[in-house]
């Protein structure tokens, strides 16, 4: 399976209301993280909202650590190369990591599961980031986005609604960490959007 996005992605995203120009870059073999990048990922992934919804259950309450960030970036590069899942970092105007977004390879109906996290210091960024990913995904042959969100994650649900997703039901889903299944399930609200 090849990567539907090609070898490398580096596109602009504008932060809503502020107008700052960010860059969405693929985590591929051209991305070489610095110590500052690792530190920033650890900081963001330990922010209360990001940690609470994405990592608390997966890490069984322990903090997100430097090795987790290194493992995430290595796994993301492997996934990019295989085309299994495509991860992007969103960099602020100074080149610092502000957010991440990913999409699974398209399934037989050309749909892809989307996920993301964003630092609370960069609010107003994810709506345009999801829209930018939608543009890229459509060009790559996707026809639909799917998102699974915990019921209490009102900020993420707001992003999905602003970007044209529709709530289509709920699903009990096993969770994983860095592609490894965990012995836990979470009830998610399922959202879909045609591209």
In a domain? residue 122: yes
Tell me, yes or no, whether 67 lies in a domain.
Answer: yes
Could you report the per-residue pLDDT of 42-58, keeping only the tens digit for each?
Answer: 999 999 999 999 999 99
Question: Does residue 2 sit within a domain?
Answer: no
Q: What percent of the chain stands above pLDDT 70? A: 99
Q: What is the mean pLDDT of residues 108-128?
A: 96
Quick check: is 18 in a domain? yes
Mean pLDDT of the chain: 96
Answer whether 0.85 is exceeded by the pTM.
yes
pLDDT digit string, tens, across residues 76-106: 999 999 999 999 999 999 999 999 999 999 9
Q: How many domains does the chain have?
A: 1
Residue 60 lies in a domain: yes
CATH code of residue 21: 3.40.630.30
The answer to whether residue 172 is domain-embedded is no
Q: Is the pLDDT of residue 2 over 80?
A: no
25's CB contacts (< 8 A; 6+ apart) are: 9, 10, 31, 88, 89, 91
Residue-number span of the structural domain to which 29 is assigned:
10-142
Report yes or no on 124 lying in a domain.
yes
């Amino acid at each position: 399976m090849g990567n539907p996005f090609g070898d490398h992605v580096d596109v602009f995203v504008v932060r809503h209301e502020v107008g700052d120009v960010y860059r969405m870059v693929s985590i591929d073999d051209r991305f070489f993280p610095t110590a500052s990048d690792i530190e920033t990922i650890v900081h963001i992934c330990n922010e209360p909202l990001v940690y609470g919804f994405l990592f608390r259950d997966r890490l069984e309450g322990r903090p997100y650590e430097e090795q987790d960030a290194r493992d995430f970036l290595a796994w993301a590069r492997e996934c990019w190369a295989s085309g299994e899942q495509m991860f992007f970092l969103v960099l602020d105007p100074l080149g610092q990591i502000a957010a991440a977004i990913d999409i699974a390879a398209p399934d037989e109906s050309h749909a892809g599961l989307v996920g993301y996290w964003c630092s609370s210091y960069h609010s107003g960024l994810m709506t345009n980031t999801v829209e930018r990913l939608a543009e890229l995904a459509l060009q790559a042959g996707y026809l639909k986005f799917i998102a699974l969100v915990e019921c209490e994650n009102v900020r993420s649900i707001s992003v999905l609604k602003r970007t044209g997703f529709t709530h289509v039901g709920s699903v009990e889903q096993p969770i994983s960490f860095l592609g490894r299944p965990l012995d836990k399930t979470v009830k998610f609200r399922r959202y879909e959007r045609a591209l």
